[in-house]
């Protein structure tokens, strides 16, 4: 059974088909890429998968469960987490608390327990602190745990956003242009981080990316979108040598 199975997904805005008859099948543990020229519909697909938009047509199944049209919270609890092209951190909160925010999806206590600081509150907070630090160590961010997230260098903010997404304990991680704004050294480090996350967390990953070196270096399969429709799909090396794909990028 596929981890993600998308069938005939479509959405229109004012008569414009932003995504039209989109199909996608990702197996558990795959590192899959979604590419295309600007305006091709890539982020719209992510918004459909995460409940930001409701599809006009089509079905989205995660690990066999139909999540079509569910809310963003329901979809996150079902097992999809994402990052954004424009980093969305709680910049006025410490690094540690940004990761803890992800764990709040799984650890709960009553308002009274929190107000009175009852033993249950301390137990859960300590557990979330410990688990958050474990994730920060994976990204070499544990020494910055007490810093305000907005004070981190750009590359580390990118890492923190991925760390926070992992704290929601997803089955499928969506990365929206994770290398945007990074220099070559940061991009190379990010490639290793993404591979590590896939292997260490037994994660299935779908990423949008413009950096073709990154895509060719880590993605096993690709789908290419153009004007909301699938231009090519398959093994990365074959897709990137497709004349239609080359023409789409040269014409951007």
Superfamily of domain 1-79+172-189+204-252: P-loop containing nucleotide triphosphate hydrolases (3.40.50.300)
Q: Where in the chain is the domain with CATH 3.40.50.300?
A: 1-79+172-189+204-252, 84-169
The reported pLDDT for the residue numbered 68 is 97
Among the listed residues 170, 132, 139, 172, the one whose alpha carbon sits nearest the alpha carbon of residue 153: 139
Using 50 as the pLDDT threshold, list the residues of the chain that sit under it: 252
Q: Give the Cα separation of 108 and 120 in Å (integer).
A: 10
What is the C-alpha to C-alpha distance for residues 194 and 210, in angstroms, rounded to an integer? 16
Contacts of 44-49 with C-beta under 8 Å, sequence gap 24+, read 44/11, 44/18, 44/19, 44/228, 45/9, 45/19, 45/225, 46/82, 46/174, 46/176, 46/208, 48/9, 48/11, 48/19, 49/4, 49/6, 49/75, 49/80, 49/82, 49/174
- For residue 252, the model assigns a pLDDT of 47
pLDDT digits (tens, 9 = 90+) for 6-30: 999 999 988 788 999 999 999 999 9
Q: According to the model, what pLDDT value does residue 109 have?
A: 56
Cβ(119)–Cβ(173) below 8 Å: no
pLDDT given at position 190: 87
Residue 228's region, left for phi above 0, alpha for psi from -120 to 50, else beta, is left
Domain covering 84-169 assigned CATH 3.40.50.300 in the classification? yes
Q: Could you tell me the strand order of the sheet in which 16-26 lies? A: 16-26, 4-13, 57-62, 65-66
């Amino acid at each position: 059974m596929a981890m993600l199975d998308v069938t005939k997904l479509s959405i229109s805005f004012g008569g414009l088909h932003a995504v039209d008859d989109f199909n996608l099948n990702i197996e558990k543990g795959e590192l899959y890429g979604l590419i295309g020229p600007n305006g091709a519909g890539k982020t719209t697909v992510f918004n459909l998968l995460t409940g930001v938009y409701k599809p006009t047509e089509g079905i989205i199944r995660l690990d066999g469960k139909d999540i079509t049209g569910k809310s963003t919270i329901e979809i996150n609890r079902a097992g999809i987490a994402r990052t954004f092209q424009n980093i969305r951190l709680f910049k006025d909160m410490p690094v540690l608390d940004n990761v803890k925010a992800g764990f709040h999806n799984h650890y709960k206590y009553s308002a009274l327990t929190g107000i009175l600081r009852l033993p249950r509150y301390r137990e859960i907070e300590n557990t979330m602190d410990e688990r958050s630090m474990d994730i920060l160590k994976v990204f070499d961010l544990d020494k910055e745990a007490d810093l305000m997230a907005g004070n981190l260098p750009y590359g580390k903010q990118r890492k923190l956003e991925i760390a926070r997404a992992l704290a929601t304990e997803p089955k499928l991680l969506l990365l929206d242009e994770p290398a945007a704004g990074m220099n070559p050294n940061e991009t190379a480090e990010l490639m290793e981080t993404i591979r590590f996350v896939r292997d260490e967390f037994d994660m299935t990953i779908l990423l949008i990316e413009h950096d073709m070196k990154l895509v060719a270096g880590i993605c096993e399969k690709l789908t290419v979108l153009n004007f909301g429709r699938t231009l090519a799909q398959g093994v990365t090396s074959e897709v990137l040598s497709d004349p239609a794909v080359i023409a789409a990028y040269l014409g951007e």
